Structure 1
Amino acid sequence: MCRNIRTLFNFEPPATELEIRDAALQFVRKLSGFTVPSKANEAAFERAVAEIAASARVLIADLKTTAAPRDREIEAAKARERSALRFGN
Structure 2
Amino acid sequence: MCRNIKTLFNFDPPATEEEIQAAALQYVRKITGFNKPSKVNEEAFDRAVSEVAMVTRKLFDSLETSAEPRNREIESERARIRAAKRFGTTS
Where in structure 1 are there 5+ consecutive unaligned residues? none
1:30 to 2:30 alignment: yes
In structure 1, the residue matched to 2:62 is 62
Per the TM alignment, residue 38 of structure 1 is displaced from its structure 2 partner at its CA by 0.3
Identity of aligned residues (%): 63
Query: Matched residues in 2 for 1:14 and 1:62: separation?
Result: 14
Whole-angstrom CA distance in 2 between matches of 1:42 and 1:50: 12
TM-score (normalised: structure 1): 0.98
Q: Distance in 2 between matches of 1:2 and 1:26?
A: 8
Mapped to 2, the partners of 1:61 and 1:87 lie a distance apart of 36
Which 4+ stretches in 1 moved above 3 angstroms?
none
In structure 2, distance between residues paired with 1:61 and 1:15? 11
The gaps in structure 2 that reach 5 residues or longer are: none
Counterparts of 1:66 and 1:25, CA distance in 2: 29
Matched residue of 2:39: which SS? coil
Q: 1:45: which partner in 2?
A: 45
CA RMSD of aligned residues (A): 1.0
Rounded to whole Å, the distance in 1 between the matches of 2:76 and 2:25 is 21
SS in 1 for 2:40: coil
Q: Which amino acid aligns with 1:31?
A: I
Q: Encode CA deviations 1:15-47: one digit per residue, 9 max, x unaligned.
A: 000000000000000110000000000000000
Normalised to the residue count of structure 2, the TM-score between the two structures is 0.96
